[in-house]
Structure 1
């Protein structure tokens, strides 16, 4: 009994507050769903949104505190959970991204007839796992957090019941993710067998001096298999094949959530295992990540080029391929960390780029959600003449696309790309910097092509509202049905998400150094 009491007293609940609050609110939503009448179900969305805001605010007392918990007795530096600067920055990114996703979801859940309680419970559960992962400092907690973030996401992708595309997307996402998890678990078991520990700091120490060559071989296989598992979560090629179909089949807010929060989870895990767990294998994972970055950005941008606004190609599919290309850029500083004497600077470059990408990509998905209200097919052609119909939305989307392309007035996008480019050059990866420069030029074409479509005159054709969406006639009827939001134009939560993303993008473009200064605190 006394040992249990000692354990409870040693738990730092303040440090654990961000993922704990998110998980508790998820349970509150699930229980409240049992008692609320149908007419009051929308209240669950506002409870979830408030819970995510509260979880984000709980980060404030942790700034500069460096709290740790679940530590080995007598070893304060060997812990399972650390609320250090790196964890706090990624937790902020995750919770802010989930908050914007919640604002996008409030109207989508109602219009598409999604099960309200299940949706919000799953979203909050996934966000809780995503908030736990960057603070995890042992391989077991990393794997658990990764699965807590991923398993609810499978269900969210397939939550549109009766929708064939949604079911297929969820199945592909699930099967490929389970295979990647199995590979990663095999790698973790190899590492445990070779080093005798799961704590990242102890694994790092053990890998520097393995007494038996056979253990070194086992550890090398474990390192490779663990990296493969995290490469899948980051949508790095050739582990990216699930992305386009999953994004198209998922509800639009969930596609945006996966593109931002899902990537944050994958990249934070990849940073932790490489820089903290496997620094002695930098000569292995550094070149591997460099090749992975080059292939990923090339595959993503080349596939995005095939999405033609003059054909019935999906805007969400273009954003999906764009996210694969952006994942390649995010991998560049990680590869550079394998060559640098001080990998912390390279990590800061990845975090800075991730923050920029999160803001503008969720903003683009927010405008896509607005267009989907009247054009459910969400084709690129449906954006033709958007400036005539909704000038502010068109200007916002144009700004987001220019940020992703790295062109003025999207200064923050240009700044982030320069930071990543300089990380590659400083690490001596000149060939990777050249590949990145070529891919940035390629990406300009499809980003500018979509931007130009927004300001062209609308074609005289059958209204796009008549196009039946992938969800079938039931979804068309739901979208066409009158309602308080539809009569008022843009729903208030959706408008809030667009305004927040635009305001953040403009503010950061005016002072891009703030992103790097904020990200520079994310040092391990």
Structure 2
């Protein structure tokens, strides 16, 4: 019997994959228009995700389908497309200066977006793992992609990311194989742990799948790659790693833990991740490494409600979405303050930056406030409240307490970094001989604002506005995100 394919359900995938192929054709035929093509493809992907009817499906065998359309899948696809467009905007100044090959950059980024779409709609474990790898594989190259000779840090970051990711993928595939051997099913809706002689085998398989997927969200002890990779990558690529790649990992973990009994393992991962991330972030002296360790801690907050299984998925989705918005604002502001083609720099480099560049500085403070759960970052505040409330309701009160304690610890480095943006710049110390000619210093020199690309400023402004608006979303939105 020939199985019919619902092409309407596959429209978001066609749009994303078609964008990657179109960028490749444009590169070969014209050698320009890459950014415009990739941006238009991202918009088309988002439109298709909104237009596809809910509960459509394809690649089905009976009641089980490998491609399922749900409301939350559409929301996640729109976010993946929006992040791709945002990273293109952040990267535009550096690409125009020839710091990286434009065609290859846009092609790889849109390929990664295609993987995100597959993860959002995946209905079985194999599609989920393939989507995650399609999302991650192009990032290995993007981390070290330079037209000029790559720095040692960039090359090392790319190799570290690649090697650890390969191991995590092998672990996840082994877990999927064991689950299939124990349950005879790969579809997520039919995924239940075995009983009798296969119960132990299924438990081991479920644990291995969770550990393999935990790499994607940089959960401890699978976090070591994140700080070095983020710091060695271009800032826009680090932004994509910290948002889109992490969102894909969250979706994969949520799909598994709500169907299998992995609560104790996920709870241990959550406690280790948020605690280690916050404690190590206190000692960071570089901005991107601070954001990287902060991202590790935030992954712990996302994992915490997943320990409650299906009861915590809604809160995990909501927190992941708000985190992605806030994290992108933070990296976008760093890109605007540092300029194209530069790294994140040391924290001392940001002393007084909020005075020199008001809008990027204000956006970075907004991101820090939201990640810390302080006003005016209402999105981050409500997301933390949702996580704590879901844990208490599900009977995980002790884990809610750990989340609250870690949120207090995180205040120290968020407030320190935010205060540094408006600290008085250090005056240079000049020693002149008595016979030396007089030196006149321009009083505006220390307060002169660096030039900020309009595309970068626009991307940061849009993301900041979306973050503020997200804080006022009604409770019904949270219900919709759970599908």
Same-fold call, TM > 0.5?
yes
What is the rounded CA distance, in whole Å, between the counterparts of 1:274 and 1:494 in structure 2?
A: 38
Alignment of 1:173-322 (within 5 A): 173-204=161-192, 207=193, 210=195, 212-213=196-197, 215-276=198-259, 278=260, 282=261, 285-307=262-284, 313-322=285-294
Runs of 4+ residues over 3 Å off in structure 1: 374-377
Match of 1:60 in 2: 50
Alignment of 1:113-124 (within 5 A): 113-124=99-110
1:496 is aligned, of 440, 446, 458, to 458
SS at match of 1:490: coil
Q: Is the 8 A contact 1:371 1:378 kept in 2?
A: no
SS at match of 1:428: coil
Q: Is the 8 A contact 1:368 1:378 kept in 2?
A: no
Match of 1:131 in 2: 117
220-229 or 316-325, which moves further after superposition?
220-229
1:51 has 2:34 as partner? no
What is the rounded CA distance, in whole Å, between the counterparts of 1:86 and 1:393 in structure 2?
A: 31
What is the rounded CA distance, in whole Å, between the counterparts of 1:377 and 1:366 in structure 2?
A: 11
CA deviation after TM superposition for structure 1 residue 201, in Å: 2.3
Structure 2 unaligned residues grouped into runs of 5+: 430-448
What is the rounded CA distance, in whole Å, between the counterparts of 1:429 and 1:112 in structure 2?
A: 52
What is the TM-score when the length of structure 2 is the normalising length?
A: 0.91
Cα RMSD over matched residues?
Answer: 1.9
Distance 1:377 1:357, change over 3 A: closer
What is the rounded CA distance, in whole Å, between the counterparts of 2:35 and 2:428 in structure 1?
A: 37
Match of 1:17 in 2: 11
1:414 has 2:381 as partner? yes
What is the rounded CA distance, in whole Å, between the counterparts of 1:134 and 1:296 in structure 2?
A: 24
Distance 1:328 1:387, change over 3 A: same
Q: Deviations over 1:356-393 (max 9, x none)?
A: 11111101101100122187552211111112211122
Distance 1:112 1:431, change over 3 A: farther
Q: Is the 8 A contact 1:26 1:48 kept in 2?
A: yes
Distance 1:426 1:123, change over 3 A: same
Match of 1:349 in 2: 315
Distance 1:44 1:137, change over 3 A: same
Distance 1:79 1:85, change over 3 A: same
CA deviation after TM superposition for structure 1 residue 454, in Å: 0.9
2:324 is aligned, of 338, 355, 358, to 358
CA deviation after TM superposition for structure 1 residue 36, in Å: 2.4
1:80 has 2:66 as partner? yes
What is the TM-score when the length of structure 1 is the normalising length?
A: 0.84
Match of 2:337 in 1: 371
CA deviation after TM superposition for structure 1 residue 488, in Å: 10
2:364 is aligned, of 397, 402, 422, to 397
Q: Deviations over 1:440-468 (max 9, x none)?
A: 11110110111101111212249xxxxxx
Q: Is the 8 A contact 2:317 2:482 kept in 1?
A: no
267-276 or 321-330, which moves further after superposition?
267-276
2:296 is aligned, of 324, 332, 339, to 324
What is the rounded CA distance, in whole Å, between the counterparts of 1:423 and 1:444 in structure 2?
A: 22
What is the rounded CA distance, in whole Å, between the counterparts of 2:18 and 2:408 in structure 1?
A: 46
Count of aligned pairs between the two proteins: 461
1:447 has 2:414 as partner? yes
SS at match of 2:58: strand
What is the rounded CA distance, in whole Å, between the counterparts of 2:277 and 2:13 in structure 1?
A: 32
What is the rounded CA distance, in whole Å, between the counterparts of 1:457 and 1:366 in structure 2?
A: 23
Q: Is the 8 A contact 1:347 1:522 kept in 2?
A: no
Match of 1:522 in 2: 481
Identify the structure with bigger relative contact order (alpha carbons < 8 Å, sequence gap 6+).
1
189-198 or 265-274, which moves further after superposition?
189-198
CA deviation after TM superposition for structure 1 residue 193, in Å: 1.8
Q: Deviations over 1:323-364 (max 9, x none)?
A: 000000001111122xxxxx25x2111111111111111011
SS at match of 2:66: strand
What is the rounded CA distance, in whole Å, between the counterparts of 2:362 and 2:98 in structure 1?
A: 27
Distance 1:397 1:12, change over 3 A: same
Distance 1:223 1:488, change over 3 A: closer
Q: Is the 8 A contact 2:38 2:110 kept in 1?
A: yes
1:335 has 2:325 as partner? no
